Amino acid sequence: MKNLLSIVLFVTICFVNAQETKLQVSESEEYKDDVKSTEILTIHTTKEGLTGVVRESKRDILFDVFDKTLAKTHQVVIESDKKERYVGEVVFGDEIKVFTVYSPKVKERIVYCHVFNIKSGTHSKKTLFEANVAKKRYLFSGRGERQTSFNLSPNGKYLAIATDNIYKDVNDYAIRVFDANSLELLFTKSYQKHDKKYFKHNDISVTDNAEVYVLGKLYKDGKKEKKKGEANYDFILNKITENDNKELVISIADQHIRSLNITDLKNQLHLIGFYSEKRTGKIKGGCNFIIDSENFSVSSQKNYELPIDVYEDLYGDKRGDKKKGKELKNFYVDYILEDSDGNTYLLAEEFYITQTYVSTGMNGGYWQTVYHYDDILILKFGASGGLDWGRSIFKRSTTPSYNAFVKNNELHVLLNSGKNLLEKKDGRTKVSKGFFESSSLYDIVYDNSGEVIYSKIQDNKGKTFYLPFYGTYQDETFIMMSDRRKKKQFMILK
């Protein structure tokens, strides 16, 4: 009995005492969903408080409109062909633009834009362009690597799309710029055309003046990341206009970088990512290349090693100290957020894919693919550009699981985890759900100095299960949808 009591007490003190969230929590009325769909493509809330949701089913694309109280007011069901595939979306004002690729034949591709107007509840579909691809090639880069090939200018006037055109004897890439309102093609420009060299697209950004910045890696020989101990690539930034195409080589010295993201902070162009001293895919710290847009040159480069708190959050107090300086791996940037004081928050998630062969006895077997969305890495850069602090979340998941936003200069990370967050003996807090454990919805809050508060929004048992990943943050309010197939509901956090 004494041993049993000791075990119970030990387990009890290992649970994190989660506080109640400071956010105001409310839920919409439940409504019946006439079409079964579990795949949410995007959610967008307008400045007037109307919310549009675009979902996908086996044969349809669904567009729902909700009023300020999140009561459903309108639905449009668009039939789609089984050979039509979703490839991306952009949002601005009252509109959601969803892009799909239709493959009528092996080498033929037709790119469509579905325009959903939240205010009017209308839908229209337009063919943007047609293209041919080589056999077993894709029109858009970044499949499975969380890259984007679509971008809208900040003023909403211009839409830029990057595509591949890779054949056996030539590698070619193209930028198309459209009037975002009429969807008329303004110009097409070829870039990074090579007979032998391979280019890998990273990111795209278009300005209010229709200047397009395209970032990627140009490999020197073949497609290997590393040769003779050195990086086998250069990062290339192209500045493309209707009449010009400039190219800037980004020197990475002895570093190894998987990818970089383009972001505009304080009217400066930043190329942000992670660097390694060993090989691509590993992380020694964060890197930031600041671009002088007028002179089209690198004005500065800054590197920051991961702070000790990152390692202690992942490995515990003792192991974290020993791991300091060791490189992490497989992280991809998800969010770059800015607060009212000019501080910047970089959030990345560990993402990788595994395959396991499942035997079915006499009939052979099959390969099972598992997508892993694990640890979260957080870096905060001060207004002056220096690294203020870094933290991480020790997490395990097999689906896209979290969302983040800044409110009152505090960083909020929303996710579902086990009912009781487990504090391990080494000081780590594990954010995951046991096999037989019920789940809870959490708001993990980081204050200005990086101190963390674990706040529980609700225990999910017997309640509606919500999906933070597909949520939207607008005008100090976060909205997310439930995962039920027939009866849907929204949660509102203010």
The secondary structure of residue 38, as a DSSP letter, is -
pLDDT at 199 over 80: yes
Phi–psi pair at 335, nearest 5 degrees: -135, 140
| pLDDT confidence of residue 359 | 87
Give the C-alpha separation, 64 to 52, whole Å: 6
Instruction: Check if the beta carbon of residue 443 is closer than 8 Å to that of residue 23.
Output: yes
pLDDT at 336 over 80: yes
Residue ranges of domains in the chain: 141-269
The angle at the Cα of 263, spanning 287 to 451, to the nearest 5 degrees, equals 60
For the segment 135-144, the average pLDDT, to the nearest whole number, is 69
| pLDDT confidence of residue 164 | 85
Phi–psi pair at 9, nearest 5 degrees: -65, -40
Q: In angstroms, what CA-CA distances link 77 with 45, 84, 132?
A: 20, 15, 29
Task: Give the pLDDT band of residue 168 (cuts 50, 70, 90).
Answer: low
How many other β-carbons are positioned within 10 Å of the β-carbon of residue 144?
8
| pLDDT confidence of residue 1 | 46
The secondary structure of residue 267, as a DSSP letter, is T
With a threshold of 0.95, does the pTM exceed it?
Answer: no
Phi–psi pair at 320, nearest 5 degrees: -60, -40
| pLDDT confidence of residue 423 | 77
Residues of the chain above pLDDT 70, percent: 93
For the segment 393-419, the average pLDDT, to the nearest whole number, is 92
| pLDDT confidence of residue 142 | 56
For the segment 343-367, the average pLDDT, to the nearest whole number, is 89
Each residue's pLDDT tens digit, 275-298: 999 998 899 999 999 999 888 999
Residue type, 456: K
| pLDDT confidence of residue 129 | 96
Task: Give the pLDDT band of residue 492 (cuts 50, 70, 90).
Answer: very high
In this structure, the strands spanning 422-423 and 429-431 are antiparallel
For the segment 218-242, the average pLDDT, to the nearest whole number, is 93
Distance of CA 433 to the CA centre of its chain: 22
Give the C-alpha separation, 77 to 158, whole Å: 28
For the segment 470-488, the average pLDDT, to the nearest whole number, is 88
Residues sharing a CB contact under 8 Å with residue 182, sequence separation 6 or more, in sequence order: none
| pLDDT confidence of residue 400 | 87
Residues of the chain above pLDDT 90, percent: 59
Task: Give the pLDDT band of residue 256 (cuts 50, 70, 90).
Answer: very high
pLDDT at 17 over 80: no
Could you give the residue ranges of the DSSP H alpha helices within 122-179? none
